[in-house]
Structure 1
């Protein structure tokens, strides 16, 4: 953005949304203060997530049934690309674990260096505390992803990413569940666009821990990578 504190009108935030009514309102409100376009793809939520997100200022697209995070991202990316003024797409989690300042800094880096994509990494500094078991599993997932792609990352399964329009146009996600994160890296690697990682802090809150996400999601990642 050229003007300090101006609302970004050329970057679209894409948020896969599934049963996050407790936190999604604050997530959207914070993002909408800095970004004109925040798109939530409600992936068959059984709660009031969609209504709360819309009331907070998000554009809400609904999947009638739960199709998975990969499918939700693909829907959101395709929707954003319909707007000709969309220059960048930021993928952002709905559960409050990502931070606005990291997204803004990653966008600034992409613009300054003319990068095709910037990947957030919780492992480039020591701020994030994932726990020993989750860290081991995620590091294993990184190793598997790096075998499949010329893009060698330290954190392949971080949902905070910045994609240029050119990069996003090359995505055609088929893996609908957690393995989509590795699929994204593989597909983006084929574009040969310049890229970078950026250190981000992932906040493991009491809310996210109460949902049982840290270990279960990490195990799912490994199972899906091995099976598919």
Structure 2
């Protein structure tokens, strides 16, 4: 039997309506996680219990990611063997779509099932822009396209519960981290189209535009920060070494070498952090080979854009640096700092865990 997991923070009557509609639409268990809504919402959660739901409670607000992990941990401890579908409490996920996700989990038990909106019709600007931005970040980061990276309607098999509890993040970034880790940990994604529903221009959303966006875009932001700091170091050392040595060539080579070493150390330590990260002797040669490749590509693209196509040098430089920024990020994530288990061709831990009894 499928269990529907609903994280809820300061919900309204739409939560109770969703519960009633689910009870009428299918035979499923329902677990609601009260993420520290407070005493004012006690009666509403009591009504959810009266309707046959299991209600788990946080003493104070810990975030959507933590609420989901509380639910996953409960289901794991309870010995859940069926599928799990996560849905939002604000009525934006229709019972019919929840049932379709549950069916897709049964058909694709080794996949993460996403209920994907197509953002047609009247969609709040914040929601449209937010999804486009996170979709771009996801594509740049993984090289894969997902229509709706922010969907809260997701389905999983019970075999994934250990993995779901281990994903970092306590707030909205948890769902993005899940997608970023999925493929590398052996979980492909299956998309199911669902209706796009926004009530009152998505006013009930607890998404904090600044704080939660920073958490979601952290992988790209950290890479940008590392690149900016490295460029600043390169700029500073160029003048210092020129003053000390009196040689422009020595200053250029020395500053670029030092900034590259600094950038490598930053990316290895803070940007591409993985549990089974490659050793220094494995990643360093790849990184500096990439540096050499990018230097060659930089020159080649400038020749292409400026001299062959006729684009002004300033614009050609912007196009070149932008293209190489994306290329560098993708290469470092995909090849330079690739985890040892994947680089060695061994099955990801997730696959080993799921199939060890076969």
TM-score range, shorter chain: 0.7 to 0.9
- 1:134-162 deviation line (CA, Å, top 9, x unaligned): 21221111111333346531111100001
**Residue 60 (structure 1) aligned to one of 42, 49, 55:** 55
**Residue 73 (structure 1) aligned to one of 60, 68, 71:** 68
Which residues of 2 match residues 25-40 of structure 1 at below 5 A? 25-33=16-24, 34-40=26-32
Indicate how the Cα distance of structure 1 residues 85 and 64 shifts in structure 2: closer, same or farther if over 3 A, else same: closer
- 1:119-145 deviation line (CA, Å, top 9, x unaligned): 11112x73x632334212211111113
Say yes or no: does 1:139 pair with 2:132: yes
Aligned to 2:302: none
96-105 or 65-74, which deviates more? 96-105
| Structure 1 residue 219, shift from structure 2 partner | 5.3
Aligned to 1:43: 35
- 1:180-208 deviation line (CA, Å, top 9, x unaligned): 110111232233234310111132113x6
Structure with higher RCO (Cα < 8 A, 6+ apart):
1
Contact 2:12–2:90 (8 Å) recurs in 1 = no
Which structure has the highest helix share of the two? 2
Aligned to 1:185: 179
TM-score, normalisation: structure 1: 0.82
Which structure has the highest strand share of the two? 1
Gaps of 5+ in 2: 220-358
Indicate how the Cα distance of structure 1 residues 167 and 218 shifts in structure 2: closer, same or farther if over 3 A, else same: farther
Aligned to 1:225: 216
How many residue pairs get aligned? The number is 214
TM-score, normalisation: structure 2: 0.54
**Residue 102 (structure 2) aligned to one of 91, 101, 107:** 107
Contact 1:106–1:162 (8 Å) recurs in 2 = yes
CA RMSD of aligned residues (A): 2.4
Say yes or no: does 1:14 pair with 2:5: yes
Gaps of 5+ in 1: 1-9
Indicate how the Cα distance of structure 1 residues 132 and 18 shifts in structure 2: closer, same or farther if over 3 A, else same: closer
